[in-house]
Amino acid sequence: MLYIGVDLGTSAVKLLLMDEQGKIHNIVSKEYPLYFPHSGWSEQNPEDWYEQSVEGMKELIRDCDKSQIAGISFGGQMHGLVVLDEQDQVIRPAILWNDGRTGKETDYLNEAVGKEKLSEYTANIAFAGFTAPKLLWMKEKEPENFAKIVKIMLPKDYLAYRLSGVHCTDYSDASGMLLLDVKNRCWSREMMEICGITETQLPKLFESYEAVGTVRPELAEEIGLPGQVRVIAGAGDNAAAAVGTGTVGDGMCNISLGTSGTIFISSKSFGVDANNALHSFDHADGYYHLMGCMLSAASCNKWWMDEILKTAEYTKEQEAIQKLGENQVFYLPYLMGERSPHNDPQARATFIGMTMDTTREDMTQAVLEGVAFGLRDSLEVARSLGIQIERTKICGGGAKSPLWKKIIANVMNLKVDVIESEEGPGYGGAILAAVGCGEYGSVEEAAGKLVKVVDTVEPEEELVAKYEERYQKFRRIYPTVKGLFRALAE
């Protein structure tokens, strides 16, 4: 049988066609615009997601045996606020995960409601990108729109709704709304009351591998799908990427170098760190995970190459970088503010340490290292909980760079396993579709059979020592300039 995985990203939707043996038959990508109507805002039109996904599916399955297509599932950008009226029409553009407008609302939740209470209700504290602060922003700034809300959805779930007609979400994606009781896998009544919403406005909860319905007959006919293709709930992009890299079960790790960057640690038991520096979320395998999330990862390199160096030669720019662990230039990777572990929407990207002999290569190297150091910050929180990680999988666009993988391995002092498919969320979505259609008995079984490690980047003792010294200097920079970021924002 054949399964479609949909990776609903920030810049494009990527669709993947996989068979029951895990072989990828086709990949199609369709871009859509991103809007920045004000400084720090980030929005998209949900209709663009739907239209490009439908067109992409037509192209994806054009040359396959369509009768073999059994299911569709998703990995999607998290936290985005999609609101529908009583006609199921989108009320306003979606407010995305990297939108920074909710500083006031985030402060209210963390300070007036209190971090301790939030952690008790949801296992997390408020971050500017989460969905609940966005609802509070709408309630104050757009009361007419807020009054029209009949359904509150997340990006991939809007797509699932358009395909199936079912208002649904899964536990992993819902975990990032600050509306879910993560430990008990149900909506938090306290958070609904704080946000002024009711449970009827929230979608029905499913496990990531459960079928929510089937593709609507008229849409199936338009796309060219057979009847009764199952729509499986899917997962937030990081949980889906973890499935796609085999990061399921207990004590597994995955690093994602996408637009944002994450370090993802799977666990069969629920846990929260004392300062809520890491997110404690439900996982797509039915259990839990801890996650540190940087708002800018591969996007830092894209910004540096596209906007500053004005070049598309990403590989060529990295070829001249030779002296790892010796760079005197440091880069704070906070282009969109930062989430884990600082929770500071006013943080900004910063270069420090340049001299007259600083080179173009030093600056490029600093960007790659800064992202690795930022991810190490979250790894240190996990280590403080007694979690011992010796190796990690890696995925995302940045993982295509051999140099960046080497930097990650040595900054983290971890063995970095490279898998056969680098299509993290889309591949994870296809695996979830296969499980939801009964091809495999569990997510763990499917990932164990389908995910194959093809290479391992080993840390080097001498380089690890050099990077340890560099990291200890890096971690002093943010606390030193933190107050300046707030002053600049004023």
Letter for the amino acid at 32?
A: Y
Out of 7, 173, 237, 417, the active site residue is 237
Q: Which two tokens stand for residue 406?
A: 């080497």
pLDDT at 186: 97
- pLDDT higher than 90, residue 424: no
DSSP letters for 112-157: IIIHHHHHHHHSS---TTSHHHHHHHHHHH-HHHHHH-SEEE-HHH
Is the Cβ–Cβ distance between 283 and 243 less than 8 Å? no
pLDDT 10s digits, 379-417 = 999 998 888 899 999 988 899 999 999 999 999 999 999
- Which segments within 20-125 are labelled E, that is strand? 24-31, 43-44, 69-76, 82-84, 94-95
Q: What is the DSSP letter of 190?
A: H
pLDDT at 212: 98
Q: Which two tokens stand for residue 332?
A: 């704070």
- pLDDT higher than 80, residue 283: yes
pLDDT 10s digits, 151-193 = 999 999 999 999 999 999 999 999 999 999 999 999 999 999 9
pLDDT at 339: 86
The average pLDDT across 32-43 equals: 94
Q: Which two tokens stand for residue 95?
A: 């407010």
65 an active-site residue?
A: no
Query: CA-to-CA distance for 429 and 109, rounded, in angstroms?
Result: 33
List domains and CATH numbers for the chain.
Answer: 2-239 (3.30.420.40), 247-489 (3.30.420.40)
Q: Which two tokens stand for residue 207?
A: 């496990």
The average pLDDT across 267-289 equals: 92
SS3 call for 484: helix
Chain CA centroid to CA 69, Å:
27
pLDDT interval class at 489 (50, 70, 90): confident
pLDDT at 396: 86
Q: Is 138 annotated as a binding residue?
A: no
Query: CA-to-CA distance for 268 and 336, rounded, in angstroms?
Result: 32
pLDDT at 490: 82
Query: CA-to-CA distance for 53 and 6, rounded, in angstroms?
Result: 8
pLDDT 10s digits, 16-36 = 999 999 999 999 999 999 999
Query: CA-to-CA distance for 490 and 488, rounded, in angstroms?
Result: 5
Going by C-alpha positions, the residue among 333, 388, 393, 395 that lies closest to residue 366 is 333
DSSP letters for 289-317: EEEEEES-SHHHHHHIIIIIS--S-HHHH
pLDDT at 36: 95
pLDDT interval class at 343 (50, 70, 90): confident
The average pLDDT across 455-482 equals: 98
Query: CA-to-CA distance for 74 and 471, rounded, in angstroms?
Result: 36
Is the Cβ–Cβ distance between 346 and 489 less than 8 Å? yes
Query: CA-to-CA distance for 107 and 350, rounded, in angstroms?
Result: 24
- pLDDT higher than 80, residue 428: yes
pLDDT interval class at 141 (50, 70, 90): very high
Which of 159-163, 273-277, 451-455 bottoms out in mean pLDDT, i.e. has the lowest? 273-277
Instruction: Count other C-beta atoms under 10 Å from residue 454's C-beta.
Output: 9
Letter for the amino acid at 90?
A: V
Query: CA-to-CA distance for 358 and 67, rounded, in angstroms?
Result: 60
| Mean pLDDT for the chain overall | 96
Q: Is 289 annotated as a binding residue?
A: no
> Residue-wise over 125-163: b if at least 16 C-beta within 10 A, else e?
bbbbbbbbbbbbbbbeeeeeebebbebbbbbbbbbbbbb
pLDDT interval class at 353 (50, 70, 90): very high
